[in-house]
Structures are given as C-alpha cells and as structure tokens.
Amino acid sequence: MIRAAWLGRRRYDDVHALQSALVEARGAGRVGDTLLLLEHTPVVTLGRAAKAVHVRWSDDELRRRGVDRVETARGGDVTYHGPGQLVAYPIFDLSGRADVRRYVRDLAEVMIRLARDFGVSAGTIPERIGVWIDADAPDAWPGEGAVARPEKLGAIGVKLSRWISMHGFAFNGDVDLSEFSSAIVPCGIGDAGVTSLAKLVGSSPAVASLAERSRAHFAEVFDARVSELEDLSASRELDAALGVAVTTREA
C-alpha cells in the first residue's frame, strides 16, 4: 500500500528535508512507500547538470521577487516551482523493478494520463526529459517524431539512493508561466516553450484536485494500491505526521 498525502503549499527546503528523512526511513523499513503531493512557494531549483547561466535573474532579483534558489542532487538542469503547479514526490522502494528508465517513463505516464483527463494529448520526446504537447495540436499527440512546436507541460527530475526514490515530477496546472520565461532557461532548453493546463484549455482545477486525480493514476501506472489522499495541508509537524524525524535541511 502506498500512503498518499496532500501537503498543501510548502517551501522547497522544508519538503526536501522531509523527503530525505523519508528516504532514510524507507530504506530502513520503518515506513512504507509514500507519495507526497503538494505545491511549492516560488523557487528555482538547480539539478546536478544545471548551468548557472540558465538562471537569468540574479540572487538579488530572486530575493526581491520572493523566489528561493536551491541547488539539489536531483537529475536535470534548472526548473521553477510555484503556486498552481502540482508537484509529486514518490518515496518508493524500487528494488523490485531496479529500472531507472522504466521509473521515469512511469512518472511521465502519470502526467500523460492526468493531461488526458482534460482533453490534452501529451507524450514524450527522446533526449528531452518530461512530458510535452504539440502547440499546433494539443488535443492530438502526433507522435514523438512528428511534433511541430513542442512545449513542456511537465518536468521530471529524480534521485535514487539504494533504489529508494526521491524528487519526482512537476505538472503545470495554472502556474505563472512568465516566471519560467523570465527567470530561467527551463531545463536548459532554449528552443522550446513551457505551457500549462490553464493555457491549453482555458482553466485548471485547484492543485488539490489535480493531486487527487494523480493519486488514481499512480495506482494504475504502478499497479499498486494507493491510500485515500491524507490531508496534511494544515499540519505544522509533517515529519511526526508521517512517522519520521527531520534531522537535516541540506539540498
């Protein structure tokens, strides 16, 4: 059984520390597989492959605008998280499948199915991690080799420690797309845009509703039982609520 929890809107550093504690506890068998679903306050994160030049705003400008800047150990380049974006952090024991590529494909499939719920046809593109749509045909994915105008709908960045996963994906519901275009070069890709569900279909449900829908898709894609979504959005002690103790806040 995967325990699914809705955390509401949280700062990146706080949730990263929670992830780290859960990874340690999962590896030791003190907790089971856990799925954290949430949205972040504005933050720019840099993965292991990130280039500093892909952050367009200076540290002073980021602070002035209330945007955090965090270097992380996840894969990938630079991305942005903010209100209106569904973030999923699966803390799963993947030792039974031991296949990183399959795991990344499964995360993409969850987002593809989530987009399909709203009439958006998305897919993946070789050498470009994440989930994409064709801006010329957002309701009919033409196939990875025939995309005329690719735009990214969801980003993926993961880290595995002894086959325990952390980090995950970010799906753009009704996030401020101007932050992507002005603050960063999203995922280091300068020749393709970023889009959102709201831009594609005119509106997006609240992130909590997207989280509930994604919970069902996680169950389907990972062929696992997933608990009802536990609402921890008002909790001030998430670590205690999830049965772990946070001891570090390193990124």
Active site residues per annotation: 187
d(CA 15, CA 149): 34
Q: What DSSP element (H or E) covers 157? A: strand 150-161
Q: What strands lie across the sheet with 43-46, from one edge to the other?
A: 68-71, 43-46, 78-81
What are the Cα distances from residue 129, in Å, to 44, 96, 209?
A: 18, 24, 25
Q: What crossing angle do the helices spanning 100-116 and 207-221 adopt, rounded to 10°?
A: 130
The torsion of the CA quartet 10, 14, 20, 24, rounded to 10 degrees, works out to -100
Q: Is 149 strand, coil or helix?
A: coil
Amino acid at 129: I
Helices (H), the chain: 12-27, 59-64, 100-116, 177-183, 197-201, 207-221, 238-241
Q: Is 67 strand, coil or helix?
A: coil
Cβ count near 58 (within 10 Å): 10
